[in-house]
């Protein structure tokens, strides 16, 4: 009997369950169309607005019963408090709002959960330091207080807020910062009355840069906030973690540029307390830190742990303790930072202790933040010591002033009223570096310093630096000169200062310049001679200026480089003096003997002035200016000025190109061993001056040429000199021999004016007079020797001579028409070593007659006239 009752009860339960399921399905199908949604739209808007404490707008509402009863809201906008701006604090196209079922039984409508996807949230910090999310907590807190004081059971409870695949924008006042969190998942809810929880996960991004999003890391936040009468008294617990951040993309995210750092970074922060007193523990771990250009054998790693008591309301820090192992040593930082409400007597106090910290880590850190350091450089030694920063307060300074012994008063001199008290520097202590050694990177011998002590010293009077004290040290080390090289260093938070005084061999100076990353060090490879005298000073920031930011342009526009903020760069100033040195390069036939030269280094240029040199038989002085930097794409072309005494064109050609001797067995062998292509000349621009230039049968006085070198020759942009009592102006082009079988070639053209007839006549043994001679011409020549040049000469000449006379002494004959004439205009051709008159006309009154003549182009030119019939007089 009992066995028959049990199956009946089971069947009844199954029937009731089936009927309930059927009723639910019918309700889902038939009930929603009969529900008036419009009557709930204003109610839902009021509920969300009351819950968030912000005005709320939405476009439409739809009822959803599955998977749980709720509403589907379209185009939800939560307005911002006017104190934080006009842009909405939250906007989402689609929002799901589920309702509390129990509230429906009581006849009320309450929102249980608000879920948004792909929303945009603005987090704003006002000028006064308040955040726009404060009012959300204030609203919930005030509602709890009102319900508790009135004893009312009903209050608008803060719903569970969640957002997925959303974006959080950061604003400072009305300005939207480029920093944001993308792909963010946010949850905000009230776990118990007065107990709020926040959960956040997102990826940092920057809107004005193109970043590798996968390398910026993931930020996670877990926070628990408790209700308090005031927000600054609200207890909180925060766990913040930033993982998997690549150092290069992280620096681009924070600073806007990539300085070339690589490595992985992880940071943690744990906070317990209130805004008035919060205990904070942090941990920062880095692994594989190095520059992008190279991978060191031992990348720099560190694991820093800090603990402190923070007072956010007064911006103060107490009991700061940071400890981190560094290699085989440790570094420890302790101190306190009084807040802005601590009174005038309060002053910060910090102490840093180093215990056998390897110097190699300092070199690795410097090599990481700066480019250009030699990757093969190795440093050894340890640093130990203690530094304390404790600036004196006004009260302490007054006590020290009273306790200090007063100097004896002098007669006739009044005491200075209101003179500033003498205050001891805030930085005390010292750091000792022992067994320091620098080797590798091409150093023939290591630089060894047994002990180096860094002690506080007064900083330079530069108000822009902001440093009142620096760490200074002075030492000496041998550098191949007659006396050791003295070096001093001044290290500050903003940058460094280094000075070098003394002598160093050229080889040692080249090694030091190479490991310091100085540009154009290869120019010293061709130099040999006595030790250099150095008087140099270098200074600059620890971190180089940031590179320009490439801003993201709108579609169809060209990306523009946004200039980075102005930042001081490294500067090297001073002088380098050398004596009795030789300089030999491939593109010069002979070596240059330098008896004395001084290099002046400035922030904008490098200038050799003066350079006293001799190049074979040529002796002169020169200056050479090399720009330190230039605006690309224009090249940085060095400029020079050279001054000679008396010059001979044949000697110049022999010195620079070498003489072409007759072929012998030895010269043939040397020619075969010579490179097939001549080395290229460097790009130079400048002027060459001389007292005189002997050019075959004539002498140019005070010639000045503006020259620009080419890869295989030179271009004479302008030439000016005194010639035969007048002036000559011209330009030209020179091409050197490219192979041993080639010959150098010249192209010259110009004009002459006001030549003296007497001086011209002396070239041919004439006695001539008259007005000045003007003309122009062009010529092309090829060869090494004067005979080769004369034989290859080809060109044209035009001249005009007014009111002249020509007489030949002795047996030489001159055409009668030249004995006295009004105008002689002629065109001549130059070919095969001679000049031949072509179209020419000699006028005397109404008569005009041509003259036929040829001139041999030799060191002593000769002119030969041919007989011609006089032309018929013109009426």
pLDDT confidence bin for 698, thresholds 50/70/90? confident
The more confidently predicted of residues 22 and 194 is 194
Burial class (CB in 10 A: 0-12, 13-18, 19+), 359: buried
- Do 498 and 609 have their domain in common? no
Residue 521: predicted pLDDT: 67
Residue 334: predicted pLDDT: 94
- Would residue 520 be called left, alpha or beta, if left means φ above 0 and alpha means ψ between -120 and 50 degrees? left
- Do 613 and 514 have their domain in common? no
Residue 838: predicted pLDDT: 87
Query: Which of 242-246, 514-518, 679-683 reaches the highest mean pLDDT?
Result: 242-246
- Do 624 and 713 have their domain in common? yes
User: Above 70 in pLDDT, residue 742?
Assistant: yes
C-alpha 216/C-alpha 252 separation (Å) is 9
Report the 3 state secondary structure along 345-393. Answer: CCCCEEEEEEEEEEHHHHHHHHHHHCCCCCCCEEEEEEEEEEEEECCCC
pLDDT tens by residue, 643-687: 999 988 877 777 766 544 444 444 444 444 444 555 777 888 999
Q: What percent of the chain has pLDDT over 70?
A: 75
Residue 674: predicted pLDDT: 45
Residue 697: predicted pLDDT: 82
Could you tell me if residue 739 is inside a domain?
yes
pLDDT confidence bin for 843, thresholds 50/70/90? very high
Instruction: Kindly give, in sequence order, each residue whose CB lies less than 8 Å from that of residue 407, ignoring residues fewer than 6 positions away.
Output: none
- Do 493 and 539 have their domain in common? yes
Question: Can you read off the two tokens belonging to residue 292?
Answer: 């992008």
Q: For helices 134-150 and 38-52, what crossing angle results, to 10°?
A: 100
Residue 555: predicted pLDDT: 40
Could you tell me if residue 473 is inside a domain?
yes
Q: What is the number of structural domains in the chain?
A: 3
pLDDT tens by residue, 572-631: 889 999 999 998 887 777 788 999 999 898 878 888 889 999 988 889 999 998 887 666
Residue 227: predicted pLDDT: 80
Last residue of a domain, one of 731, 755, 779: 755
The more confidently predicted of residues 144 and 567 is 144
- Do 724 and 868 have their domain in common? no
User: Above 70 in pLDDT, residue 105?
Assistant: no
Could you tell me if residue 144 is inside a domain?
no
Q: What percent of the chain has pLDDT over 90?
A: 25
- Do 513 and 609 have their domain in common? no
CA dist 334 → 283, 387, 388, 392, 759 (Å): 16, 11, 9, 18, 91
Tell me what the mean pLDDT of segment 201-226 comes to.
84
Could you tell me if residue 217 is inside a domain?
no
User: Above 60 in pLDDT, residue 106?
Assistant: no
Question: Can you read off the two tokens belonging to residue 74?
Answer: 């379209």
Lowest mean pLDDT across 127-136, 276-285, 840-849 = 127-136
Tell me what the mean pLDDT of segment 706-713 comes to.
87
The more confidently predicted of residues 48 and 769 is 769
Tell me what the mean pLDDT of segment 369-382 comes to.
80
Residue-averaged pLDDT of the chain: 78
Cite the DSSP H helix spans in 674-818: 757-764, 786-792
Tell me what the mean pLDDT of segment 389-397 comes to.
66
Please answer whether residues 379 and 363 qualify as being in contact, where contact means their C-beta atoms are separated by less than 8 angstroms. Answer: yes
Could you tell me if residue 213 is inside a domain?
no
Residue 747: predicted pLDDT: 92
- Do 805 and 726 have their domain in common? no
Give the residue numbers spanning the domain of 612.
584-629+636-660+677-755
pLDDT tens by residue, 772-821: 899 999 999 888 777 777 788 899 999 999 999 988 776 567 888 888 99
Q: Give the alpha-carbon dihedral of 342, 343, 347, 349, to 10 degrees.
A: -20
CA dist 44 → 75, 91, 498 (Å): 14, 16, 71
Residue 781: predicted pLDDT: 86
Could you tell me if residue 163 is inside a domain?
no
Residue 25: predicted pLDDT: 55
- Do 711 and 797 have their domain in common? no
User: Above 70 in pLDDT, residue 841?
Assistant: yes
- Do 597 and 576 have their domain in common? no
Please answer whether residues 39 and 46 qualify as being in contact, where contact means their C-beta atoms are separated by less than 8 angstroms. Answer: no
Tell me what the mean pLDDT of segment 264-288 comes to.
91
pLDDT confidence bin for 516, thresholds 50/70/90? confident
pLDDT confidence bin for 343, thresholds 50/70/90? low
Tell me what the mean pLDDT of segment 481-487 comes to.
89
Residue 551's φ and ψ, nearest 5 degrees, are -75, 150
Last residue of a domain, one of 735, 755, 775: 755
Please answer whether residues 736 and 657 qualify as being in contact, where contact means their C-beta atoms are separated by less than 8 angstroms. Answer: yes
pLDDT tens by residue, 124-170: 887 766 777 776 666 655 655 555 555 444 455 667 888 889 998 88
Residue 566: predicted pLDDT: 39
Residue 312: predicted pLDDT: 85
Could you tell me if residue 286 is inside a domain?
no
Lowest mean pLDDT across 171-185, 414-428, 719-733 = 414-428
User: Above 60 in pLDDT, residue 874?
Assistant: no
Please answer whether residues 372 and 517 qualify as being in contact, where contact means their C-beta atoms are separated by less than 8 angstroms. Answer: yes
- Do 695 and 834 have their domain in common? no
Could you tell me if residue 794 is inside a domain?
yes
- Do 540 and 593 have their domain in common? no
Q: Give the alpha-carbon dihedral of 683, 685, 689, 693, to 10 degrees.
A: 50
The more confidently predicted of residues 511 and 42 is 511
- Do 481 and 538 have their domain in common? yes
User: Above 90 in pLDDT, residue 552?
Assistant: no
Last residue of a domain, one of 705, 739, 755: 755
Residue 66: predicted pLDDT: 66
Residue 669: predicted pLDDT: 44
- Helix, coil or strand: residue 653: helix
Contacts of 396-400 with C-beta under 8 Å, sequence gap 24+, read: 397/421, 397/423, 400/424
* Model pTM above 0.75: no
The more confidently predicted of residues 38 and 490 is 490
Residue 19: predicted pLDDT: 62
């Amino acid at each position: 009997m009992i066995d028959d009752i049990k199956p009946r009860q089971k069947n009844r339960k199954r029937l009731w369950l089936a009927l309930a399921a059927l009723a639910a399905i019918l309700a889902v199908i038939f009930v929603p169309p009969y529900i008036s949604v419009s009557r709930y739209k204003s109610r839902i808007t009021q509920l969300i607005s009351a819950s968030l404490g912000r005005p709320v707008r939405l476009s439409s509402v739809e009822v959803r019963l599955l998977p749980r009863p709720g509403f589907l809201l379209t185009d939800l906008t939560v307005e911002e408090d006017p104190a934080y701006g006009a842009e909405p604090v939250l906007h989402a196209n689609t929002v799901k709002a589920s309702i509390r079922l129990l509230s429906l039984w009581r006849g009320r409508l309450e929102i249980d959960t608000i879920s948004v996807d792909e929303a945009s949230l603005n987090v704003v910090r006002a000028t006064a330091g308040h955040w726009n999310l404060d009012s959300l907590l204030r609203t919930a807190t005030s509602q709890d207080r009102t319900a508790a004081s009135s004893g009312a059971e009903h209050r608008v409870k803060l719903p569970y807020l969640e957002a997925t695949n959303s974006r959080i924008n950061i604003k400072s006042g009305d300005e939207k910062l480029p920093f944001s969190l993308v792909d963010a998942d946010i949850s905000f809810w009230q776990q118990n009355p007065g107990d709020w929880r926040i959960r956040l996960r997102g990826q940092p991004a920057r809107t004005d840069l193109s970043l590798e999003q996968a390398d910026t890391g993931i930020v996670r936040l877990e926070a628990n906030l408790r209700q308090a009468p005031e927000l600054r008294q609200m207890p909180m617990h925060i766990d913040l973690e930033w993982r998997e951040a690549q150092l290069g993309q992280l620096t681009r995210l924070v600073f806007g540029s990539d300085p070339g750092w690589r490595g992985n970074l992880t940071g943690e922060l744990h906070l317990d307390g209130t805004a008035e007193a919060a205990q904070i523990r942090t941990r920062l771990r880095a692994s594989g830190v190095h520059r992008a250009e190279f991978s060191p054998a031992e990348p720099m790693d560190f694991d820093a742990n800090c603990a402190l008591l923070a007072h956010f309301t007064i911006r103060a820090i107490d009991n700061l303790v940071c400890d981190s192992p560094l290699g085989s040593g440790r570094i420890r930082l302790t101190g306190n930072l009084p807040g802005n409400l601590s009174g005038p007597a309060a002053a910060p106090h910090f102490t840093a202790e180093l215990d056998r910290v390897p110097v190699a880590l300092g070199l690795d850190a410097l090599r990481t933040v700066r480019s250009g350091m030699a990757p093969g450089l190795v440093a050894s030694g340890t640093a130990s010591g203690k530094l304390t920063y404790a600036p004196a307060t006004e009260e302490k300074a007054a006590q020290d002033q009273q306790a200090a012994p007063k100097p004896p008063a002098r007669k006739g001199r009044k005491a200075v009223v209101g003179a500033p008290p003498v205050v001891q520097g805030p930085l005390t202590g010292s750091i000792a570096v022992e067994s320091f050694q620098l080797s590798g990177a091409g150093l023939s011998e290591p630089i060894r310093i047994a002990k180096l002590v860094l002690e506080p010293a007064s900083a330079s009077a530069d108000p822009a630096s902001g440093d009142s004290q620096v760490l200074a040290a002075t030492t000496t080390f041998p550098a191949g000169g007659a006396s050791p090289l003295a070096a001093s260093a001044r290290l500050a938070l903003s940058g460094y200062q280094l000075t070098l005084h003394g002598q160093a061999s050229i080889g040692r100076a080249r090694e030091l310049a190479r490991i310091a990353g100085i540009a154009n060090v290869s120019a010293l490879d061709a130099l040999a001679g006595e030790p250099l005298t150095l008087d140099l000073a270098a200074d600059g920031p620890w971190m180089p200026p940031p590179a320009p930011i490439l801003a993201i342009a709108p579609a169809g526009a060209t990306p523009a480089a946004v200039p980075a903020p102005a930042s001081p760069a490294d500067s090297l100033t001073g002088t380098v003096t050398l004596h009795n040195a030789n300089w030999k390069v491939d593109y010069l036939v002979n070596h240059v003997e330098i008896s004395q030269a001084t290099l002046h280094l400035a922030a904008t240029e490098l200038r050799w002035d003066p350079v006293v040199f001799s190049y074979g038989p040529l002796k002169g002085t020169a200056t050479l200016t090399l720009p330190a930097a230039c605006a690309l794409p224009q090249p940085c072309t060095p400029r020079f000025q050279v001054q000679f005494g008396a010059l001979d064109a044949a000697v110049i050609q022999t010195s620079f190109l070498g003489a072409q001797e007759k072929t012998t067995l030895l010269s043939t062998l040397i020619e075969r061993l010579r490179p097939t292509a001549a080395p290229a000349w460097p790009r130079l621009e400048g002027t060459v001056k001389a007292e005189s230039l002997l050019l075959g049968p004539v002498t140019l006085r005070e010639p000045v040429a503006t020259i620009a070198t080419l890869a295989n020759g030179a271009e004479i942009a302008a030439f000016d000199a005194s010639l035969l009592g007048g002036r000559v102006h011209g330009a030209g082009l020179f091409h050197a021999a490219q192979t041993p079988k080639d010959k150098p070639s010249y192209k010259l053209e110009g004009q002459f004016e006001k030549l003296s007839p007497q001086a011209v006549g002396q070239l041919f043994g004439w006695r001539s007079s008259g007005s000045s001679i003007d003309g122009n011409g062009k010529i092309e020549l090829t060869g090494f020797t004067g005979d080769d040049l004369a034989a290859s000469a080809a060109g044209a000449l035009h001249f005009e001579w007014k009111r002249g006379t020509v007489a030949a002494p002795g047996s030489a004959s001159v055409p009668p028409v030249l004995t006295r004439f009004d105008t002689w205009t002629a065109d001549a051709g130059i070919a095969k070593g001679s000049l031949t008159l072509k179209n020419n006309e000699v006028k005397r009154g109404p008569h005009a007659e041509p003259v036929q003549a040829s001139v041999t182009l030799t060191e002593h030119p000769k002119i030969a006239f041919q007989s011609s019939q006089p032309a018929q007089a013109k009426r």
